[in-house]
Amino acid sequence: MKVYPSGSIRNVALVGHGGTGKTSLAEAMLFNTGATKRMGKVDDGNTVSDYLQEEIKRKITISSSLVPCEYRDHKINVIDTPGYADFYYEVVGAMRVVDSMVVVMSATAGVEVQTEIIWEDFPDIPKLVFVNKMDREHANFYKVLDQMKEMFSDNIVPVQLPIGAEDSFKGVVDLIKMKAYTFEAGSGKATETEIPADLKDEAEKYKEALVEAAAEADDDLLAKYLEGEELTDSEILKGIKEACQKGSAVFVFCGAALSNIAVTPLMDFIVDCGATPDRHPFVAGKNMASEPMAAQVFKTIADPYIGRLNMFRLFTGTMKSDSVVYNSTKEKEERIAQILIMTGKEQAGVPELFAGDIGAVAKLSVTGTGDTLCTKANPIVMDAIQFPEPTLSVAIEPKSKGDEDKLSGAVQRILEEDPTVRLEKNSETKQTILTAMGDTHIDYIIEKLTRKYGVDVVLRDMRIPYRETIRATVEAEGKHKKQTGGHGQYGHVWIKFEPYPDGEFAFEENVFGGAVPRNFFPAVEKGLLEAMEEGVLAGYKVTNIKATLYDGSYHSVDSSEMAFKLAARLAFRKGVESAKPVLLEPIMNVEILVPDAFMGDIIGDLNTKRGRVLGMEPSGNKQLIKAQVPLAEMARYTVDLKSITQGRGKFKMEFSHYEEVPAQIAEKIIERARKEREEKEK
């Protein structure tokens, strides 16, 4: 693949809801440029962009994929992105490096949830719309058009009208040229004809809207248009190009990607009118070529064979193979051996890359997703990419006990690739907790661990880190006395235990007359701290307790630190059992962002989860609900929220405090813990 100058590059993401045909559109574009000899199909598992085994098996895009198309002396860097919510982070990464997006919609389903979310989350990125599947049953271009106009405030303007629909769909009317084109299914070859008589009036009506959108994008054209003068074809095209590049209008196309009908007009429009790399907000007002080199990594692929591969966009300057760059995020120099151009999983080396292009580099030592690469003489750190926070947690453990190190290494590789995965060892529950974006995401990670890294993993329910505390003040004696041959063991304490709301633990000594020598005080405190790790009700950590050592006795020969430590533990157990022990549970601060229509359902659901709604406030066109909910009720909330809001809701939560568990629920938890203990003892 040759190296292209900045002005001949177009960076475009294919986005939209799952199943709208983004991958099929990418295949048709590749085929039309001669990059492939035949079009792959998602159902056959032979497309260029969906090459992961999990993608082939599930027939969905999971990982965004770059497929550059060389067309009319231009290079269109097409990024095929996933359409499923669990993999939305891939869309977010791609959006940092493209200059426009093609929103792919189904002519039968119209505007779907994921399309809505992308449209809302990236209002400033110029958009084109491709209404796909025009050859399917119930395809209706005008219905989708009306739906977009109703749902989005943008200026929605068709540049094409379909000729026929469903079985009879065969081409489009080009409203810029006012010509009709019919296409040969499969080859994509077009034949120019006159506009069918039954579409002429419709075409004139939509042409007027197109001219208006073109005029509004340019002050001179607008003045001429308002004075009633007719705009020339070249003026209209100039206005359309400006409107497209700055995003003041959303131009709508239609076709059937799987049959390769009307895909080339979209490609022509991207080349002629699509946003150019110099329009990206990061380089606005700069001379891309003369500025010092600056690039940002938007995606990392960790491969067991080739190692780590970082995909990046070069925003300014030139990058050469066999050179040294500076990672300003990590403050380390990195050696670039070979710049690569990716086409799906295939790689081709190039000697250099110009500003505006997208490339990849292998085996950098410290570079990860979001990092900035630049020159050491002109360091710059680009804003981090704001990936969504994961919200669904499960406990994982290797099937084979000896695979713990192997699992740790494999997950490390996955963390390098996926900025939304979290892994932590919970010191209280002794579980390894994996947090991801949803059920499908977790399934994908587990499959990947098995297939790619050879680690079989078992999923467990996440244990809730309950705590125990006391509600009464008591005094308890602990005496450890053991006589053996030679020195015996003797430690004797009296300790007062009381609730301590100001902190987790406080230890005081108030011993008179040397009943317990001072040098044994630390041993008593240590014994209490060790005993607090396992409470008397269900074996959970004990908290909010104050212990005062006030009396005891010792033996000049047999007393030791160990003896006093054991005596303190005995006193603790006896004291806590009689101090009205209770179970505490973690309470989370939860913020839920939902459209107004789902408010009642969300609040009703929170009530069933023992939640307390603290307040509501408008946030844009949505409502932000603030509540406090027990963590035990929030384990599957990601799934519940998706179900209630059809995927439109978002939430985040953080720990707030511990609260007493209601008696009926506490009984069940204690009973479950007792059974688990008995199982272990067997």
Q: Hey, CA dihedral for 270, 272, 278, 281, is it positive or negative?
A: negative
Residue with the two structure tokens 């973690």: 586
CB 458 within 8 A of CB 451: no
Q: For residue 493, which of 550, 434, 439, 449 has the smallest C-alpha distance?
A: 550
Ranges of residues in the chain whose predicted pLDDT is under 50 = none
- Expressed in percent and rounded to 5, the helix, strand and coil fractions of the chain are 30, 35, 35
Q: Distance (Å, rounded) from C-alpha 600 to C-alpha 598?
A: 6
DSSP state letter for 169: -
CB 195 within 8 A of CB 231: no
Helix (H) or strand (E) holding 346: strand 346-350
DSSP string, 141-168: HHHHHHHHHHH--S-EEESEEEES-GGG
Domains 294-374 and 584-664 alike in fold: no
Residue 406 pLDDT: 86
Residue 304 pLDDT: 66
Q: Distance (Å, rounded) from C-alpha 93 to C-alpha 185?
A: 34
| Axis-axis angle for helices 233-246, 264-273 (nearest 10) | 90
DSSP string, 257-317: GGGTBS-HHHHHHHHHHSPPGGGSTTTTTS-TTTSPPEEEEEEEEEETTTEEEEEEEEEES
CB 583 within 8 A of CB 537: yes
**Structure tokens, 355:** 């500003």
CATH, range 468-579: 3.30.230.10
β-partners of residue 215 are none
Q: Distance (Å, rounded) from C-alpha 394 to C-alpha 634?
A: 12
The radius of gyration of the chain's CA atoms, rounded to the nearest angstrom, is: 33
Q: Hey, CA dihedral for 338, 342, 347, 351, is it positive or negative?
A: negative
Helix (H) or strand (E) holding 644: helix 637-645
- The number of residues in the chain equals 682
Q: Distance (Å, rounded) from C-alpha 225 to C-alpha 659?
A: 68
* pLDDT tens-place string over residues 413-443: 889 899 999 999 988 888 999 999 999 999 9
CA 265 → CA 71, 107, 474, distances in Å? 12, 18, 83
CA 670 → CA 268, 313, 663, distances in Å? 68, 55, 10
Q: Distance (Å, rounded) from C-alpha 621 to C-alpha 192?
A: 45
| Record: fold of 584-664 | Alpha-Beta Plaits (3.30.70)
* pLDDT tens-place string over residues 594-628: 999 999 999 999 999 999 999 999 988 899 999 99
CB 217 within 8 A of CB 249: yes
SS3 state at 248: coil
Query: What CATH architecture does domain 392-460 belong to?
Result: 2-Layer Sandwich (3.30)
**Structure tokens, 276:** 């150019």
**CB half-sphere exposure, 127, CA atoms < 13 A:** 28
pTM of the model: 0.90
CATH top-level class of 294-374: mainly beta
Q: Distance (Å, rounded) from C-alpha 18 to C-alpha 84?
A: 5
Residue with the two structure tokens 């579980």: 431
DSSP state letter for 471: S
**CB half-sphere exposure, 404, CA atoms < 13 A:** 5
The yes or no reply on domain 6-210+247-279 and CATH 3.40.50.300 is yes
CB 391 within 8 A of CB 93: no
CB 399 within 8 A of CB 456: yes
Q: Distance (Å, rounded) from C-alpha 177 to C-alpha 346?
A: 38
Helix (H) or strand (E) holding 444: helix 439-453
Q: Are strands 339-343 and 346-350 parallel, antiparallel or unpaired?
A: antiparallel
Q: Where are the domains of the chain?
A: 6-210+247-279, 294-374, 392-460, 468-579, 584-664
CB 538 within 8 A of CB 466: yes
**Structure tokens, 598:** 């789902």
